[in-house]
Amino acid sequence: MGCTLSHTKFDRVYLGIGEDGHFASLFPHSWPEQSEEQVILVEESPKPPKRRATLSYAGFVRLASECPVYLLFLGASKQDALQRLQGGKEGASTLPCAFFRDQHFNATIVTDLKEGMA
């Protein structure tokens, strides 16, 4: 299942980042970054619920590339994902939140973590 979105664009986006760097049901190795579908059905999510709909990377490019994006790394369990993002060595296939860094979005990190901030 996939579809294309209308002419709407986001004003701003707030995304909670998971322990493995996922956001919006885009988990490591779960969806090809190069897919053109903008809305996707996730059939086998590693976290409940197993089946869900979400925006794809292409959907985020379409809707959020011109607005502020806030990446929320909240809680000690997000420390590793934040450090991996700041390390700059991983791409979206293994660390999905790196997509916003690599695609030059207007992204801001929001965190309550003191250690590991560059």
pLDDT in tens, 64-81: 999 999 999 999 999 999
Q: Considering the domain boundaries, does residue 31 fall inside one?
A: yes
Query: Mean pLDDT over residues 27-31, rounded?
Result: 86
Mean pLDDT of the chain: 90
Q: Considering the domain boundaries, does residue 39 fall inside one?
A: yes
Q: Considering the domain boundaries, does residue 40 fall inside one?
A: yes
Q: Considering the domain boundaries, does residue 1 fall inside one?
A: no
pLDDT of residue 8: 84
Q: Is the pLDDT of residue 117 over 60?
A: no
pLDDT of residue 99: 96
Q: How confident is the model at residue 36 (pLDDT cuts 50, 70, 90)?
A: confident
Number of domains in the chain: 1
Query: Mean pLDDT over residues 34-51, rounded?
Result: 87
Which residues make Cβ contacts (< 8 Å) with residue 81, sequence separation at least 6?
Answer: 17, 18, 19, 20, 21, 73, 95, 97
Q: Considering the domain boundaries, does residue 67 fall inside one?
A: yes
Question: Side chain identity at 25, as an amino acid letter?
Answer: S
- Residue 56, domain extent: 7-111
Residue 28: closest CA among 86, 92, 73, 98: 92
Instruction: Identify the CATH number of the domain in which residue 97 sits.
Output: 3.40.50.1360
Q: Considering the domain boundaries, does residue 117 fall inside one?
A: no
Query: Mean pLDDT over residues 2-21, rounded?
Result: 86
Q: Considering the domain boundaries, does residue 96 fall inside one?
A: yes
pLDDT of residue 16: 98
Query: Mean pLDDT over residues 82-86, rounded?
Result: 97
Q: Considering the domain boundaries, does residue 118 fall inside one?
A: no
Query: Contact 69/85 with Cβ under 8 angstroms?
Result: no
Q: How far apart are CA 29 and CA 88, in angstroms?
A: 18
Q: What is the pTM of this model?
A: 0.88
Query: Contact 93/28 with Cβ under 8 angstroms?
Result: yes
